[in-house]
Amino acid sequence: MATIAVIGTLDTKGYEHAFVAECIRKHGHKPLLIDVGSGDSPQITPDIDRYEVASAGNLDLAAMMARKDRGECVSAMAKAAPVLLKRLQMEGRIDGVISLGGGGGTAIATAAMRALPIGFPKLMVSTLASGNTAHYVGTKDIVMMPSIVDVAGLNRISRTIFSRAVGAICGMVEASIEVSDQRPIIVASMFGNTTDCVNDAIPILEEAGYEVLVFHATGAGGRAMESLIESGMVAGVLDITTTEWADEIVGGTLSAGPERLDATGKMCLPAIVVPGCLDMVNFGERKSVPEKFKDRTFYIHNPQVTLMRTTAQECRELGKILATKINTYTAPVTVLIPEKGISVISKEGEPFYDPVADTALFDALASELRDDIPIRFMDCDINDPDFSTACAESLLDNLSICKQQ
Domain ranges of the chain: 3-174, 185-404
Give the mean pLDDT of 53-67.
Answer: 84
Residue 257: how many CA atoms within 13 Å on its side-chain side?
14
pLDDT in the model for residue 68:
77
Angle at which helices 70-90 and 103-114 cross, to 10°? 30
The CATH number of the structural domain formed by 185-404 is 3.40.50.12030
Which of the following CATH numbers is that of domain 3-174: 3.40.50.300, 3.10.110.10, 3.40.50.1100, 3.40.50.12020? 3.40.50.12020
Q: In this structure, which amino acid lies at residue 315?
A: C
Q: Which residue, 141, 102, 108, is CA-closest to 125?
A: 102
Q: Would 3-174 and 185-404 be classified into the same CATH topology?
A: yes
Give the mean pLDDT of 177-192.
Answer: 88
pLDDT in the model for residue 204:
98
**How do strand 298-302 and strand 305-309 relate by DSSP bridges?**
antiparallel
With a cut of 90, say whether residue 39 has pLDDT above it.
Answer: no
- pLDDT, averaged across the chain: 95
Give the mean pLDDT of 344-348.
Answer: 96
With a cut of 90, say whether residue 219 has pLDDT above it.
Answer: yes
Other CB atoms closer than 10 Å to residue 401's CB: what's the count? 12
pLDDT in the model for residue 215:
97
Tell me the whole-structure pTM to 2 decimals: 0.80
With a cut of 80, say whether residue 24 has pLDDT above it.
Answer: yes
Q: How many percent of the chain have pLDDT more than 70?
A: 100
